[in-house]
Amino acid sequence: MGAVTRIAFCGLWIGLAFLWGCDDDSTSSRNRPPAVMITSDTPASIYFDQTIEFSWEGYDPDGNLSGYYAGLDDDLNFTSETSTSYGNFDQGTSHTFQLFAIDNDGVRSDPSIRHFEVLAGAQNIPPDVTILSGPPDSIFASDLATFTWQGTDPDGNLAGYYAGLDDNLNWTTDTTASFSGFNPGSSYLFKVVAKDSSEAYSDTAKWDFAIY
């Protein structure tokens, strides 16, 4: 290989090394996009009179997160908050919540998306029941234990009750019940649960007593 050829060959390698070095520098300084994730456990469906809430977390590997674009369907607005809520929906509609993070260079993250539908009809509210009266803490085995209770339903559709001692509950539309034939030295727990016409149940109301 002649001297001129060797000089040209070495010059080529030096030039390539310079270009590779510049490429490495540009790669290391290239802005990396931010990321965002919806963290709230949002339902897939709600009733039209309910509110749906979204919360999220964003991250920028370059450390310069500016904010977010968030909104329903295609109506996105800039915000620096990390939560929002929506309500006043039309019945039988469906919506998409969309979210982007954006950094100080205007680079957007991949979208984070949640879909949900709005059910027809109003949300059913469970009934409630309260025991109004019952026996004292201890009674004799020959005594009669009488209970009275009252149920309410915010929707006005109270259907009836399951009531009884321990786990032996029976359906009734009455608001009173009496029990006898107790075993001496034992204890009992009266329970009553209200039920509405939409198959929703109240919490269990309880009253315990012992037998001499």
One digit per residue, pLDDT tens: the chain, 212 residues?
554 444 443 443 444 344 444 444 443 468 899 999 999 999 999 998 899 999 999 999 987 899 999 999 999 999 999 999 999 999 999 999 999 999 999 999 999 999 999 998 777 889 999 999 999 999 999 999 999 999 999 987 899 999 999 999 999 999 999 999 999 999 999 999 999 998 899 999 999 999 99
Residue type at position 114:
R
DSSP characters for the chain? --HHHHHHHHHHHHHHHHHHHHHHHHHHHSPPP-EEEE-S---SEEETTS-EEEEEEEE-TTS-EEEEEEEETTEEEEES-SEEEE--PPTT-EEEEEEEEEETT-PBPPPEEEEEEEESSPPPPP-EEEEEE---SEE-TTS-EEEEEEEE-TTS-EEEEEEEETTEEEEES-SEEEE--PPTT-EEEEEEEEEETTS-BPPPEEEEEEE-
Distance CA 161, CA 21 (A): 80
- CATH 2.60.40.10 domain span(s) along the chain: 35-119, 128-211
CATH of domain 128-211: 2.60.40.10
Per-residue pLDDT, 29: 63
* Pairing assessment for the beta strands 45-47 and 112-119 based on DSSP bridges: parallel
Q: Which CATH number fits domain 35-119: 2.10.109.10, 1.10.760.10, 3.40.50.1370, 2.60.40.10?
A: 2.60.40.10
Per-residue pLDDT, 24: 44
- Cα-based distances in Å from 164 to 42, 140, 176, 212: 38, 19, 11, 20
CB 53 within 8 A of CB 42: yes
Per-residue pLDDT, 123: 79
Per-residue pLDDT, 25: 44
Residue type at position 81:
E
Per-residue pLDDT, 20: 43
Per-residue pLDDT, 198: 86
Number of other residues whose CB lies within 10 A of the CB of residue 130: 13
Residue type at position 23:
D
